[in-house]
Amino acid sequence: MTMISTAMAQLKLNFDVEKLQHDLGSAKQHFQSAPQIGPYHDGSWTGIALRNSQGNYEDTLAFSAGSAQDTEVLSYCPYFKQIIDGFDFEVEVARLLFLPPGKKVGEHKDQGIDWSTGLARIHIPIITHEEVYFYIDGQRAQWKEGEFWYGNFSETHSIHNQSDITRVHLVLDCAINNNLLALFPKAFLTEIQSKSEIFINQDAIAVSLDTLKSCCGYFTLPKQYLGFPAKSELIIHNDQLAVKIFGLPVAIGLTPTAENTFEYLDTKFTYTHFDTHSKTIEINNQSKDLLMDIEIKSTLSSKDRLLQMSQIALFKTILTIASPFMKLRRRFSTVNTYS
């Protein structure tokens, strides 16, 4: 019996290469790409964000925050916008990624992008070459311009551009639902389901702004997420209930999927007790073996306020130190790739 590789799969759609490259030219004309985060390259691997949680084209961090905003780049790139808006699934993050001639991206694994979390990373090659050596889980990915490909980037992967052109891909982080799964080969999905659970994101239901406001309050996020109990707040952000972790710059949007229930990827927040004086939520995440009831407070105690301020200071220190350290690692690191 022939084994089916789960490292990658070509999806059913194809895109107009001429239009892709025209929009790429517009993006490059109006915007400067920024280095990708990570120590496994020398800073030459860069990106331009088309959609992310902040709506900032310079922010190429691939972090799905449960809510997405187009960056100004898409106003110059109508075909990119047509593609992203035309799917029957949510595109949480969209980036153009550039790898110049002779450059490498070393072996690494992407965290939080896999079947169990409900996120899939999809590529549309815009400019590529047969001398680009791109490997996922030990298998070479020879993807052609205009094709639509899934890659399992939770496995080890690397790139070495041995051509004389800059390799450019449009990279989409997508919320897995049944419409996205319908684009995959059936045999591939059968093989995936034999190895792991596929988390399928549910469609959002309509919730009034007054209901969202009644859900707000302060709480402590369990240590299973950040390694310590994190002081947080449920707020309204972009007309959506969101988790704001004090000290971090991003609010994580929650999708209403049922009465009193909100979801962010594979984490479910359910209000189990709800009145004018107190609220309780059940946080459920099977992949983290987490099931916990947490009180939502309308105000912070003096102790909690002190802990909140300490947490903000901690994250500020970490972020301040991390940026120059990452640049230093890039400068002096030797990058291992498949040859």
Residues 251 and 244: beta-carbon distance below 8 Å = yes
What interhelical angle do 17-30 and 78-86 show, nearest 10? 120
pLDDT at 43: 85
The Cα–Cα gap between 141 and 8 comes to: 8
Q: What is the rounded distance in angstroms from the CA atom of residue 261 to the CA atom of residue 119?
A: 20
Domain with CATH 2.60.120.330 in the chain: 8-195
Average pLDDT over residues 10-29: 97
Q: What angle do CA 160, 161, 165 make, to 5 degrees?
A: 170
E strand or H helix that includes residue 329: helix 302-332
User: How much of the chain, in percent, has pLDDT values that exceed 70?
Assistant: 91
| CA-wise closest residue to 57 among 24, 87, 27 | 27
Q: Highest mean pLDDT range out of 31-40, 208-217, 320-329?
A: 208-217
pLDDT at 121: 96
What is the structure's pLDDT at 315?
A: 85
Mean pLDDT within 48-73: 81
Strand order in the sheet with 279-285: 255-258, 261-264, 267-274, 279-285, 290-296
Q: pTM of the predicted model, to two decimals? A: 0.82
Most confident range (mean pLDDT) of 86-100, 264-278, 304-318 is: 86-100
Stretch 294-320: mean pLDDT: 88
124 vs 251, more confident: 124
Residue with tokens 């985060």: 37
Nearest to 71 by CA among 88, 84, 89: 84
**What was the pLDDT predicted at 337?**
38
Classify residue 242 as exposed, middle or buried by CB count within 10 Å of its CB (0-12, 13-18, 19+).
buried
pLDDT for the residue numbered 100 = 97
Residue 64 predicted with pLDDT over 70: no
How far apart are alpha carbons 263 and 140 in whole angstroms?
36
Instruction: Write down the mean pLDDT value for the chain.
Output: 88
Which residues make beta-bridge pairs with 331? none
Taking residues 117-132, report their average pLDDT: 96
Which residues is 105 bridged to in the sheet?
159
- Average pLDDT, integer, range 20-33: 96
Token pair for 9: 């799969």
- Burial (CB count <10 Å: 0-12, 13-18, 19+), residue 103: buried
Both tokens assigned to 39 = 């120590």
Instruction: With cut-offs at 50, 70 and 90, classify the pLDDT of residue 323.
Output: low
**In the numeric block, which tokens belong to residue 175?**
């919320």
pLDDT over 60 at 184, yes or no: yes
Evaluate if residue 217 carries a pLDDT over 50. Answer: yes
Q: Is 204 helix (H, G, I), strand (E, B) or coil?
A: coil
Centroid of chain to Cα 318: 21
Distance CA 90, CA 51 (A): 11
Interatomic CA distance for residues 256 and 259, integer angstroms: 8
% residues pLDDT > 90 (the chain): 61
Q: In the predicted model, what is the mean pLDDT of residues 117-123?
A: 93
Place of tokens 């699934």: 89
Q: Please, which pLDDT band fits residue 4 given cuts at 50, 70 and 90?
A: confident
Q: Is 2.70.170.10 the CATH classification of the domain at 8-195? A: no
What mean pLDDT comes out for the span 77-82?
98
Of 76 and 69, the one with more pLDDT: 76
Q: Is residue 2's pLDDT more than 80?
A: no
In the chain, the N- to C-terminal Cα span, in Å, equals 30
Residue 10 to residues 78, 121, 172, 262, 269, Cα–Cα distance (Å): 24, 12, 14, 32, 34
Whole-angstrom distance, CA of residue 303 vs CA of residue 252: 25
Return the pLDDT at 48: 95
Average pLDDT, integer, range 134-158:
96
More confident residue, 66 or 151: 151
> For residue 66, is pLDDT > 80?
no
DSSP state of 297: B
User: Which residue would you say has higher pLDDT here, 44 or 1?
Assistant: 44
Q: Output the CA angle 208-214-216, nearest 5 degrees.
A: 115
Angle at 289 between CA 284 and CA 290, to 5 degrees: 35
The pairing of strands 290-296 and 139-140 is unpaired
